[in-house]
Amino acid sequence: MSDVIRFTNGYLALPDGQCVRADLYISTSTGQIISGQSSFFTSNLSPSRTIDLDGNILSPGLIDVQINGAYGIDFSELELDTEDGGEGKYIAGLEEVARRLVETGTTSFVPTIITQKEELYSKLLRLLRPRSPANAAHILGYHAEGPFLHPARRGAHSETLLMTAESAPPIATFDRVYGRDGLDQEGVKIITLAPDVRGVMGCVEELTRRGVTVSIGHSDASLEVANEAMNKGARMITHLFNAMPPIHHRDPGVIGLLGSPNQRPYFGIIVDGLHSHPNTVRIAYAACKEGCVLVTDAQSPMDPNLPDGVHDWREGIKFRKEGYKVLIEGTTTLAGSCCPLYECVSNLSKFASIPITEALLAATLRPAQLLGGEISKRKGQLREGFDADLCVVDWEGKVRSTWVGAKEVWRDGKIGQGDYLGDKPKPRKVNGNGLVNGH
């Protein structure tokens, strides 16, 4: 019996931001996208199942490179006073988030931990090695946000836990905090740091050599300092506009990297309509769209079933949820978001006045390119040999179905016999090449 599944009667999201009306073939045995020509015409393998996309868009699965938790789970919390040091409960929570995230079209994510007590890092990072739970999003590795952050730009991070890197050599401090194994382990490794903190700049080159994606964030750096960090290997800015100086016409600071004539960074941006005004999103995208990476920066309250109000968060801290806004109780300080990634895609489309298929690149192709290595060779594009991690979205960006490894793991709405994914679409204007140019 054939292991081939065919998607038809829809539009494929292309790496250039356009889309084409065409079929896509995947293999359930390899979990990858395959050539329809070789499987159907050359090997004479008829699809075992045909999925009618009903005019919707087939996209690579969404990738979130900064997510602190969701569905009541906080990736920064580890209950040490249990028999196994909290490991079993932690992994169970991590995998529960992975199973639920597919509801948002997210098929891969990088769990993010905020500034911690020094002794917790080596324990947490070991638990954040790559894993792929059944019927769930892939866990790619870790994103450690802190503790090498500037106190003046700490945001919700505890000032008492922030650190400098003044040992000799400075990288020894990173080895001690994260654990040498943590810095060398397999999988995605992102560290958000402030290069203007004492000793940190001297570590950027070595971290990059060891496979760490260095991201500038929670920093008070001038453009000159930020440029130096980029020259030493930094590749990303963490949640652009947040926890950094506002742009100034004589010293644009970290934000000024978006206008660099030579090397421009990737930048994470939370397009929830709260962290950044639509106009600033539009400015950033126009300046450096090829570097735009949508992130949720989601916290544990990202759960559609959680009511607005005050909730317990971390030890001694409560948060107040107001729609997609999460504030530290008693303050006006934003503490991450609870906006799902597909909503950020939809917002980017509206704010930047771009087609939804172009906005999808900021949650698929570009995060894969940012992470590089095997991730960029396997995820983020609808190409033969790439992982069949997919999501079906309508023209407003709502997720209708999610696939991981060529297996459908979630779907929305009334589906009938399993091949129906939505209402009849409005007609689309298609040019002579079968490409949709607008939205």
Is residue 438 part of an annotated ligand binding site?
A: no
Based on the domain organization, do 220 and 327 belong to the same domain? yes
- Given 352, 378, 404, the domain boundary residue is 378
Residue 227 belongs to domain with CATH number: 3.20.20.140
Q: Is 336 annotated as a binding residue?
A: yes
Q: Work out how many domains the chain is built from and give that number.
A: 2
Kindly report, residue by residue over 194-247, the tens digit of the pLDDT: 999 999 999 999 999 999 999 999 999 999 999 999 999 999 999 999 999 999
Provide the pLDDT for residue 258: 97
The verdict on residue 147 lying in a domain is yes
Same domain, 38 and 135: no
Q: In this structure, what are the phi and psi dihedrals at residue 436, rounded to the nearest 5 degrees?
A: -90, 125
Residue 103, marked binder: no
Question: Is residue 427 domain-resident?
Answer: no
Are 178 and 291 contained in the same domain?
yes
| Residues 124 and 260 grouped into a single domain | yes
Domain containing 30 equals 4-60+393-415
Active site residue 297: yes
Q: What is the DSSP string of 113-167?
A: E-S--HHHHHHHHHHTS-B--TTS-EE-EEEEE-SS--GGG-TTS-GGG-----S
Which of 297, 387, 389, 394 is flagged as catalytic?
Answer: 297
Q: Are residues 31 and 159 in the same domain?
A: no
The answer to whether the annotation marks 334 as part of a ligand binding site is yes
Tokens of 405: 């490894």
Q: What is the CATH number of the domain that holds 53?
A: 2.30.40.10
Task: Please give the C-alpha separations between residue 435 and each of 11, 18, 185, 350, 391, in angstroms, as whole numbers.
Answer: 9, 7, 42, 21, 19
Q: Note whether 52 and 104 are same-domain residues.
A: no
6 annotated as ligand-binding: no
pLDDT, tens digit, for every residue of 119-173? 999 999 999 999 999 999 999 999 999 999 999 998 778 899 999 998 889 999 9
**158 and 19, same structural domain?**
no
Alpha carbon distances (Å) from 267 to 62, 205, 370, 371, 389: 16, 19, 9, 12, 23
Say if 424 falls within a structural domain. no
Contact between 389 and 403 under an 8 Å Cβ cutoff? The reply is yes
Q: What is the pLDDT of residue 42?
A: 52
Q: What does the alpha-carbon distance between residue 154 and residue 334 come to, in Å, rounded to a whole number?
A: 12
* More confidently predicted of 421 and 246: 246
